[in-house]
Amino acid sequence: MPTSDADGPDRAHERPEGVSDATVEALGSLSKALETVERARGHLYGFHQLTGTADLELDRAVRLLREAGQAAWADRVEEEVLGRNVIPGHWTFQIVEAYNRTYYEPFRSLERQARETLAAGRDHLYEAEMKEARRTAGHPDHTARPPGTPRNPRPGA
């Protein structure tokens, strides 16, 4: 709990009235799962970009093979690998789009709806309460909020 109203968390990170410990913990777990999905999605974009970069580098390999007098190998690279699907019928952009549409967007929407319904839309309540429990009151590096952040911001601010 905050030591004073001036040093407590901002209202957006305080538990709404009637929200149980179990609900805060469950929403924290749901949020953590979404954060893991965000990381997985980042890796998927990395896969997409690295595969695209490799495919574009094949243009150079084909050119160099031709310049080296290896036209048969240049033809094989062009025909067998350049522009090839990474899985049947899919380039990487199609995998990214399918992942976003089929998994990421529904997951993100559900997590947001759960926060809105169960915690008045407040985010990171579990972490905010953990921060309050671990802060050292009065220590300059253990403040509740960033400098200049009001405890009770204007509505809509």
Cβ neighbourhood burial of 128 (10 Å; 0-12, 13-18, 19+): buried
- Sign of the Cα pseudo-torsion (119, 122, 124, 126, in order): negative
Give residue-wise pLDDT tens across range 58-107. 999 999 999 999 999 999 999 999 999 999 999 999 999 999 999 999 99
Residue 87 backbone dihedrals phi, psi, to 5 degrees: -140, 160
Give residue-wise pLDDT tens across range 2-36. 445 567 788 888 999 999 999 999 999 999 999 99
First-to-last alpha carbon distance for the chain, in angstroms, is 24
Q: Which long-range contacts (CB under 8 A, 24 or more apart) does 86-93 make?
A: 86/51, 92/47, 92/48, 92/51, 92/52, 93/48
In this prediction the pTM is 0.82
